[in-house]
Amino acid sequence: MENYYELLDLREQDDRETIENELKKLNKTYRQRANHKDAKIRNEATERVNLAARAMVKFRSDDDRAAYDRELNEAKSQKQLQEPLIDIDFYAFLGLPILASVEEIQNKLNQLERNLGTLSNGNNSATREQQLISDARNILLAPERRKKYDEQVTAKRNFERHRDREKPVPIIVGDVEIYDWISLEKILDQYPDEGLFLLQDGEIEAWLKWSLGQKQRSAWTREIASRSLRSDTPFLEFEEFQRLINPNRSFVLYEQGGHPRQGIPIRLHQIADIPKLADSNWSIFRLRLDYILDWMAEISDQDVLKGYLAIPASENADIQLERLLYSIDPQLPTPQVSLQGVSDQTIDFGLLSKWERAEREIEIIQSGRGYLYGMVKTSAGWLKMSTTHFGGRKSALSIEVIPSKLIAEQDNQCQLTFSFLDGRLPPISVNIIVRQRTTWQSVTNVFNRETKSVGEDQSRSISIDDTQPRVLVKPKSRLGIIAVVMLLLAIGAVFVFTSQNGSINLAVPAVIQGWERFESADVAIQMPSKYGYFSFEENLGNVLNQMSSMGSQFEQIAEAVRQNPSLFVLWLYDEEKYGTASMSSVLVAREPLQQSVTLDQYLDAIENLYNSSQFEIASRSIVSVGRYNAGRMVVITTVVGNIQVTAITYIIISNGSVWSVAYGVNSNDFEENIVIYDQSIRTLELP
């Protein structure tokens, strides 16, 4: 027969109505815990729900209770429940728990024997203790005898506990004596810090178990205390203990500090309160999301949780909270979004050359309630994005065009698509447009044009294209030729050096950390210390002979260099890449300035010298180089062996001279080296 008084921690001296009310509270508490995420707790609580239901049948009326008490007393008398007859509790004598190991018992017995010493001779007290040690050894070190003895000791201890249940001992909280379970909630609200200490220290558990005889509540208390010791928010665990006392107590969320006395607690009485309060207290709700879910598991309709848990989980707490709110209230308004930096759903980068970089910033702005989260993707490989995800009230997205991947000489278009969490907002598409600049066409080529007689017009008009200014250039003038020659020489050097077999005599530069200052005559420039000098006097003839063999265009370049060797001031190369197709070179040249020639006219003249499908002018601009304005031109060509080379030339007019600085490298390595080139030109020192 089930003894509901013992099994459900009820007091036999209470009247029927008190017991019935206590059973109702227990039933509610058990039902809440029957939804717990821990399977062990859930199964145990389910058994208790069924037990409480059976007990309530026995206490529906005074007659039912009287009949149950008679049956219970008869069962007790038949069982002849009485105190087990054992004389000595050897475990208490040894100061060991009942689960002590054989080794622990053996060591303790040996220690007591040693401590007796000579007192055993004629000393009655020592003789009595020696007898206890001997009896303990005979019983506790023999497995079968110990097993039977342990059953008797356990029965005796349980009898003593049940015998003392009629005399509860109070627990003291804040100098207040508490004798019953229900009164504990109110006093713990007044003294939360001391209450948490008593919970974690195990005193409340011991009081429930030994003074009130409430074994089940004692076990739950121990479980909550253990979690609170591991938690960074122990007062939330303490709140769960308070709800164990009073199942009707509201669920409480504390602010960041997690203390009842810090800020105003947020109280939730029902599930519908979560969507009402979450948006105005978002940071607290996302921080305490696990506790909210545990509370929902205790009290809510399981369909809400099932719908929420059916959605694939995210590690982002904001996303999980937003999904929970929609699971509770599917009619919640969706967050609103706007894109800044976008005009009429379009971003037009305009006209770009092959080496121009172009970036745009887009801000994704949320308005309204909730948490905005989504992904962005592009349909083109030439558009680089800083991120593929965004979230929160304000997010930044940088997009960059990769010019080298554009389709040349036509408009390039793609779509940037923004999609949003779980499809609650329709996707937004933004059109991206880039126009690829074509190669500037010239009408004359210095190496192919016919020589004009002296009697002909001294000047003629040269049209660069319809968008460029019209300028006058003297046909027999050397204007711009040296700049083109040295630029192409820098291009040719990549192939020529790659083809060498060690026949060039190389000067050994001084090697220091970082960059090095290279100088010749009255000009200096800095490059990384891996660069070295190229000796014009010792090696120029050999290089020009090999360049002449590369084709008629390069043969004319070589001839121009032979006629003007003194114009070339400084030539550097990347020693680490010497002999490879990735080698980079730098060439500095100077020629006298022809009177009344501007920087723009000089650049126009250079363009006129490229009238071949072998060359492409990728970009042309005016830039600031220290205290100088410099022309900047990027040229691409293909040399023998289908090696594509890119050279960047800076033109500076200063003190009656035109200075040209050309950097050349394999096109595959151009983007890697352009940062070095742009830094280097700013270190140029001119007389």
Report, as an integer, the average pLDDT of 177-183. 81
Q: How far apart are CA 239 and CA 230, in angstroms?
A: 15
pTM of whole model > 0.95?
no
What is the DSSP secondary-structure string of 626-666? TTEEEEEEEEEEEETTTEEEEEEEEEEEETTEEEEEEEEEE
Within 10 angstroms of residue 29's Cβ, the number of other Cβ atoms is 23
Q: How far apart are CA 140 and CA 137, in angstroms?
A: 6
Q: Give CA separation, 394 vs 362, 372, 502, 510, in Å.
A: 10, 9, 59, 52
Report, as an integer, the average pLDDT of 248-252. 82
pLDDT at position 132 over 50: yes
Total residue length of the chain: 687
pLDDT of residue 472: 28
Report, as an integer, the average pLDDT of 49-75. 82
Q: Model confidence over 390-423: pLDDT tens digits?
A: 998 899 999 998 877 777 667 889 999 999 988 8
Asked if residues 389 and 432 have their Cβ atoms less than 8 Å apart, the reply is no
Please state, rounded to an integer, the average pLDDT across all residues of the chain: 76
Q: Under DSSP, is residue 519 helix (H, G, I), strand (E, B) or coil?
A: strand
pLDDT at position 511 over 70: no
pLDDT of residue 385: 93
Q: State CA 390 to chain mean position distance.
A: 13
Query: What residue has token string 């409340």?
Result: 204
- The architecture that CATH gives domain 337-436 is Sandwich (2.60)
Is the pLDDT higher at 101 or at 78? 101
pLDDT at position 509 over 60: no
Comparing 91-105, 263-277, 327-341, 627-641, the range with the smallest average pLDDT is 627-641
pLDDT of residue 440: 30
Asked if residues 122 and 113 have their Cβ atoms less than 8 Å apart, the reply is no
Q: Model confidence over 529-558: pLDDT tens digits?
A: 888 877 666 666 766 776 666 666 566 667
Q: Model confidence over 606-634: pLDDT tens digits?
A: 777 665 666 788 888 888 887 788 999 88
pLDDT at position 55 over 90: no
pLDDT at position 479 over 90: no
Topology classification of domain 460-681: Protein Transport Mog1p; Chain A (3.40.1000)
For 168, which DSSP code?
A: P
208 burial (CB, 10 Å; 0-12 / 13-18 / 19+) is buried
Give the CATH H-level superfamily of domain 90-166: DnaJ domain (1.10.287.110)
pLDDT at position 363 over 90: yes
Per-domain residue ranges of the chain: 4-77, 90-166, 171-328, 337-436, 460-681
pLDDT at position 84 over 80: no
- Tokens representing 36 are 């717990």
pLDDT of residue 576: 80
Comparing 74-78, 206-210, 366-370, 660-664, the range with the smallest average pLDDT is 74-78
Is the pLDDT higher at 481 or at 289? 289
Helix (H) / strand (E) containing 619: strand 615-625
Which three-class secondary structure string do you get for 93-159? HHCCCCCCCHHHHHHHHHHHHHHHHHHHCCCHHHHHHHHHHHHHHHHHCCHHHHHHHHHHHHHHHHH
E strand segments, 450-567: 460-462, 471-473, 515-520, 523-528, 531-533
Q: How far apart are CA 583 and CA 575, in angstroms?
A: 8
Is the pLDDT higher at 334 or at 247? 334
Report, as an integer, the average pLDDT of 237-261. 78
Within 10 angstroms of residue 535's Cβ, the number of other Cβ atoms is 13
pLDDT of residue 444: 28
pLDDT of residue 439: 35
For 170, which DSSP code?
A: P
Asked if residues 45 and 30 have their Cβ atoms less than 8 Å apart, the reply is yes
pLDDT at position 226 over 90: no
pLDDT of residue 451: 31
What is the DSSP secondary-structure string of 372-423? -EEEEEES-TTEEES-SEEESSEEEEEEEE-GGGSPTTSEEEEEEEEEEGGG
pLDDT of residue 476: 33
Asked if residues 207 and 188 have their Cβ atoms less than 8 Å apart, the reply is no
pLDDT of residue 119: 55
